[in-house]
Amino acid sequence: MNAALLNRFADIAYARAGIRLRDGKEALVSARVGKRMRALELERIEDYLAILEGPEADQEIVYFLDAISTNFTSFLREPDHFVRFAELVQTKLEAGQRRLRFWCAASSTGEEPYTIAMTAAEVIGERDVDWRILATDISTRVLSVAEAGVYDDPVLEPVPRAQRERWFTKMAAGGPRGPRWAVAPALKQHVTFKRLNLATPPFPMKGPLDAVFCRNVMIYFDQPVRQQLIAGIERLLAPDAILFIGHSETLSGLDTQLRALKPSVYAPRSDSTRTPGRGQTS
């Protein structure tokens, strides 16, 4: 694929999902798009671009974005976040809060929202608490894996044995990679998956949200898309909420009232320290 063709794919990815396909990604895009073209029995890349740029593009865009997005994730990824999250849940319960709302904003194949769910469930225990996790992603392919909630044995490797036994059931039939594990209904019932594009705020949720995980997705966006995204999240946060971003990400350079509790962990400014301006809710 030459640079001019890559640019056309890059323009579509940016316009539709805020994703920046960087120069040098020709081989990667070509391999991924090639798979999709074979499925559509198209031989010329220009014919595929014509579909993506044409009036009937909306349906194919979903598959295109599935093909180009990077979905790497794992259970208990960046584990210190879950220690901090458990403390947040504990603090809220001790303060008498009995309704908790969490958003996992780029949930990929589900490992992250189910880790959030395991963590919350273990802190909440038998208390009568109404708690829910909304897990969203732009890719319908990863969302359907997440919704199924069935994982190969190696995927569960980061999950300690006690948690595995408590929150997963071994399926009767294994797969080519050994035993398969299904997320327990007791966990699953708290997680709802929906398709949502982070590049097009405002988001449809009402808030206030008690915690938001928006990790390892901003790296694919440029500053204007990040700025809108963070402003959209900020509007939804409860005053004592926490926003987790990926360890390799930062909010520095963005216009936001959120303050870093430590790198990659952010909280709204308390009212007394807020400065007037965008991000302040009344």
Ligand X SMILES: C[S@@+](CC[C@H](N)C(=O)[O-])C[C@H]1O[C@@H](n2cnc3c(N)ncnc32)[C@H](O)[C@@H]1O
By CB under 6 A, name the one of 121, 124, 134, 138 that touches ligand X. Answer: 138
Q: How many residues bind ligand X (CB under 6 A)?
A: 24
> Angle 90-126-150 (CA atoms, 0-180°, nearest 5)?
90
Residues within window 244-273 making contact with ligand X, judged by CB under 6 A? 246
User: Rule CB under 6 A: is residue 232 a binding residue for ligand X?
Assistant: no
User: Rule CB under 6 A: is residue 71 a binding residue for ligand X?
Assistant: yes
User: Residue 101 and residue 235: Cα distance in Å, rounded?
Assistant: 14
User: Rule CB under 6 A: is residue 82 a binding residue for ligand X?
Assistant: no
User: Residue 37 and residue 246: Cα distance in Å, rounded?
Assistant: 33
Of 93-101, 169-177, 215-223, 273-281, the window that binds ligand X (rule: CB under 6 A) is 215-223
Site map 20..59 versus ligand X, x via CB under 6 A = ----------------------------------------
Annotation says 32 is catalytic: yes
By CB under 6 A, name the one of 142, 146, 159, 241 that touches ligand X. Answer: 142
Q: For the stretch 162-184, what's the b/e string if a residue is b when 16 or more beta carbons lie within 10 angstroms of its beta carbon? A: ebbeebbeeeeeeeeeeebbebb
User: Rule CB under 6 A: is residue 220 a binding residue for ligand X?
Assistant: yes
Which residue's beta carbon is nearest to the bound ligand X?
Answer: 73
The alpha carbon of 241 is separated from its chain's Cα centroid by a whole number of angstroms, namely 17
Instruction: Point out the catalytic residue in the list 8, 20, 32, 132.
Output: 32
Largest separation between any pair of C-alpha atoms in the chain: 62
Residues within window 84-113 making contact with ligand X, judged by CB under 6 A? 106, 108, 112
User: Rule CB under 6 A: is residue 199 a binding residue for ligand X?
Assistant: yes
Residue with tokens 């584990």: 79
User: Rule CB under 6 A: is residue 18 a binding residue for ligand X?
Assistant: yes
Of 28-36, 40-48, 132-140, 161-169, the window that binds ligand X (rule: CB under 6 A) is 132-140
45, 51, 56, 98 from 59: Cα distances, Å = 18, 10, 7, 41
Task: Please name every residue paired with 130 in a beta bridge, in sequence order, or none if there are none.
Answer: 99
Main-chain phi, psi angles of 82, to 5 degrees:
-80, -25
User: Residue 29 and residue 191: Cα distance in Å, rounded?
Assistant: 32
Eight-state DSSP code of residue 126: T
Of 1-9, 52-60, 157-165, 211-219, the window that binds ligand X (rule: CB under 6 A) is 211-219
Positions that interact with ligand X (CB under 6 A): 17-19, 69-73, 77, 106, 108, 112, 137-139, 142, 197-199, 215-217, 220, 246
Which residues are annotated as catalytic?
32, 137
